[in-house]
Amino acid sequence: MRCPVCASEKLSEETEHASSEVHLRFKDWEPGFVQYKALMVYPARGRVCLACGYLLFFAGEETLETLRKGRPG
Ligand SMILES: [Zn+2]
């Protein structure tokens, strides 16, 4: 795995993500009872580039599987 900014391979070990403030939202992901529901993607784990300090975040497996399946319907 390489840093997407500086291409260094010197990354920290993987660790848990500690805040829910950073997230991505896919609007109108799936039909709900009254209106479409959004899919929220939160970082579950991350690494730090030891060369430039860039933070790499990764979604959890469950969310990843939901995204791989694509939008329902
Ligand atoms: Zn880097």
**For residue 73, is pLDDT > 90?**
no
* pLDDT tens-place string over residues 42-71: 999 999 999 999 999 999 999 999 999 999
Q: To 5 degrees, how large is the angle CA 67–CA 68–CA 73?
A: 75
> Which residues are close to ligand 1, an ion, with C-beta < 5 A?
3, 5-6, 8, 49, 51-52, 54
pTM recorded for the entire structure: 0.75
Q: Ligand 1 centroid to 43 CA: how many Å?
A: 19
Both structure tokens of 35: 């209106």
Both structure tokens of 11: 């990354």
Identity of the residue numbered 15: T
Q: Ligand 1 centroid to 41 CA: how many Å?
A: 23
Q: Where are the domains of the chain?
A: 15-69
Q: Ligand 1 centroid to 10 CA: how many Å?
A: 8
Both structure tokens of 9: 């391979």
